[in-house]
Amino acid sequence: MNNLLDYTLEELKVWMKENGESAFRGKQILSWIYKDINDFDNMKNISKPLISKLKENFTVNMPKIIKVYKSDIDGTEKFLLGFEDGNLIESVLMRYKHGNSICISTQIGCRMGCKFCASTIDGRVRNLTTGEILSQILVVQNYIKERISNIVLMGSGEPLDNYDNVVKFLEVVSAEYGLNVGQRHITLSTCGIVPKIYELADKEFSITLAISLHAFSDEKRKEIMPIANKHTIYEILEACRYYINKTNRRITFEYALVKEINDSKEDAKALGKLLRGMLCHVNLIPVNEIKENTYKRSSKKAIDDFSEILTSFGIEVTTRREMGSDINAACGQLRRSYIETQE
Ligand code: SAH
């Protein structure tokens, strides 16, 4: 059986033709699915024989909601989702004045090995399919009975390490027949897999590219992010400039502030010099402390000083508001603690 959520319109049209049906049926079927009609019998404009064919060949696979944790502080909801093969992922719904935003995962686990991150501790189990990435939005939307208008690919996994499925996801989620989420409301975060940044730029999506930089020099970056042994900051920034030229989109640099590791005034100045003049914005993230390592969050003063110094270089800076701190909101923490309690 094939999961219909794994199909782009083009792919489904091809299937229709190969199976003696008109290509336009593809659009009708996907439109039902993304309007949350998953039962083929309820697809009103589809003939009985085609419905039987669909039943023989396709399913619409949705993960099960295993648990929902709601923050008492800010209403953030964290969903622990289970796939048929028993694997778990987490997706986080954040409610803002400008609409609902969801943080979704792209892989089960991760193989990038960033030292401060909980998602990567047991490595990568497998990639998520396009449909599994999409279904996180569908299942949560269905649960809250409201539309989700912003998407960030910042959950577990490295999106550019699952490039093909993620690109297909971006196509479907932003398509009119799909979830019709504006590409400007989608952010993809990567630790910096340079060749894939070029490939993504060539797609000319108008999504926001976020780069997890976390250090101003390769030497420092290598201490916390193994990917820095493969690609230098210079190469990343070159790729970012290419991305900006292709898409005209401003890049976001994420910088997790870790006490006494990368949060000094010297770090801030060096980062300011590095990024000065670029079409970018820096998002400072006070590191979420996890029990598996000893990294500590920077003091409020260090964060404010860091932000002020960057601003003095003419760089726009925001400090990420912590959402759902009472519900293990840092990536990967929930899945890990749930698995541990089951063992
Ligand atoms: N693999 C992608 C996306 C997933 S992580 C990437 O590296 O960008 C999303 C963001 O959260 C990244 O910037 C990541 O470095 C950061 N992150 C991971 N663990 C964190 C923690 N414990 N505290 C703060 N930020 C963290």
54 lies in the same domain as 68? no
CB 263 within 8 A of CB 306: yes
The CATH number for 37's domain is 1.10.150.530
What are the strands of the beta sheet with 150-153, ordered from one edge? Answer: 64-70, 77-82, 88-96, 99-103, 150-153, 186-190, 208-212, 251-257, 280-286, 316-319
What are the pocket residues of ligand 1 if the criterion is a CB atom closer than 6 Å to any ligand atom? 112, 114, 116-117, 154, 158, 189-191, 212, 254, 256, 285, 287-288, 290, 330-331
Alpha-carbon gap, residue 204 to 244, rounded angstroms: 10
157 lies in the same domain as 46? no
Q: Is the dihedral of CA 105, 298, 71, 101 positive or negative?
A: negative
Binding residues for S-adenosyl-L-methionine: 157-158, 189, 212-214, 288
**Helix residue ranges, H only, the chain:** 9-18, 25-34, 48-57, 130-144, 163-174, 194-203, 218-224, 233-247, 265-275, 300-312, 333-342
Domain count of the fold of the chain? 2
Alpha-carbon gap, residue 201 to 246, rounded angstroms: 6
278 lies in the same domain as 330? yes
CA distances (Å), origin 265, targets 98, 126, 157, 329, 335: 34, 40, 31, 28, 35
**Cα–ligand 1 centroid distance for 287 (angstroms):** 9
54 lies in the same domain as 153? no
Binding residues: 110, 114, 117, 157-158, 189, 212-214, 288
pLDDT value for 78: 94
| DSSP conformation letters of 210-256 | EEE---SSHHHHHHH-GGGGTS-HHHHHHHHHHHHHHH-PPEEEEEE
- List the residue whose alpha carbon is closest to atom 12 of ligand 1: 212
CB 215 within 8 A of CB 262: yes
Alpha-carbon gap, residue 42 to 38, rounded angstroms: 8
Alpha-carbon gap, residue 312 to 53, rounded angstroms: 63
51 lies in the same domain as 155? no
Residue 340: CB atoms within 10 Å? 8
104 lies in the same domain as 20? no
- List the residue whose alpha carbon is closest to atom 18 of ligand 1: 117
Amino acid occupying residue 280 = C
Which of 13, 31, 59 delimits the end of a domain?
A: 59
CA distances (Å), origin 227, targets 62, 133, 198, 215: 33, 24, 17, 12
Alpha-carbon gap, residue 337 to 299, rounded angstroms: 27
pLDDT value for 74: 85
Query: What's the predicted TM-score (pTM) here?
Result: 0.95
pLDDT value for 58: 97
163 lies in the same domain as 258? yes
Q: Is the dihedral of CA 285, 163, 250, 261 positive or negative?
A: positive
Which of 42, 59, 76 delimits the end of a domain?
A: 59
Atom of ligand 1 nearest to the CA of 189: 8
198 lies in the same domain as 220? yes
pLDDT value for 343: 56
Range of the domain at 233: 64-342
23 lies in the same domain as 172? no
CB 302 within 8 A of CB 256: no
Alpha-carbon gap, residue 81 to 139, rounded angstroms: 9
160 lies in the same domain as 30? no
Alpha-carbon gap, residue 315 to 280, rounded angstroms: 7
44 lies in the same domain as 79? no
CB 216 within 8 A of CB 267: yes
The DSSP element (H or E) to which 95 belongs, if any, is strand 88-96
Of 108, 154, 187, 290, best ligand 1 pocket probe by most atoms within 8 Å of the beta carbon: 154
pLDDT value for 291: 85
- List the residue whose alpha carbon is closest to atom 15 of ligand 1: 212
Alpha-carbon gap, residue 57 to 1, rounded angstroms: 5
Binding residues for [4Fe-4S] cluster: 110, 114, 117
pLDDT in tens, the chain (343 residues): 999 999 999 999 999 999 999 999 999 999 999 998 999 999 999 999 999 999 999 999 999 999 999 988 888 999 999 999 999 999 999 998 889 999 999 999 999 999 999 999 999 999 999 999 999 999 999 999 999 999 999 999 999 999 999 999 999 999 999 999 999 999 999 999 999 999 999 999 999 999 999 999 999 999 999 999 999 999 999 999 999 999 999 999 999 999 999 999 999 999 999 999 999 999 999 998 888 889 999 999 999 999 999 999 999 999 987 767 777 655 566 666 666 666 5
Of 106, 189, 303, 335, best ligand 1 pocket probe by most atoms within 8 Å of the beta carbon: 189
75 lies in the same domain as 53? no
Which of 29, 59, 89 delimits the end of a domain?
A: 59
**Cα–ligand 1 centroid distance for 143 (angstroms):** 26
The CATH number for 175's domain is 3.20.20.70
